[in-house]
Amino acid sequence: WRVGLDQGAGALYTRVDFGLPTVIVVGSESRGISRLVRERCDVLASIPLRGRMASLNASVAASIALYEAVRQRSGGRGPA
């Protein structure tokens, strides 16, 4: 199960099923995920931004998605 993080994706990252064995794909900070890699993903997910933020750096986006994966796998409790 390949989940690509893409700012323009329609699915919210919290709606993705991270209970399956998952690869989280994070693109470069300047260009995002390449077209070829995007096409190979099973789902594209976005992380909504608030306020004046235009984007997240790659490590922050990955951290948010990984936290959500751990939260889902621990029954909604989040990391201990």
Give every CB contact of residue 15 below 8 A, 6+ residues apart in sequence: 45
Percent of the chain with pLDDT over 70: 95
Amino acid 43: pLDDT: 96
CATH level 3 topology of 2-73 = Alpha/beta knot (3.40.1280)
User: For residue range 28-55, what is the model confidence (pLDDT) as tens digits?
Assistant: 888 889 999 999 999 999 999 988 887 8
Q: What is the pTM of this model?
A: 0.86
Nearest to 64 by CA among 29, 2, 12: 12
> How far apart (Å, rounded) are the C-alpha atoms in residues 56 and 24?
16
> Rounded CA gap, 41 and 28, in Å?
16
Confidence of residue 79 (pLDDT cuts 50, 70, 90): low
Residue ranges covered by each domain of the chain: 2-73
Alpha carbon 72 to its chain's center: 13
Within 8 A by CB and 6+ apart from 49, the residues are 7, 55, 56
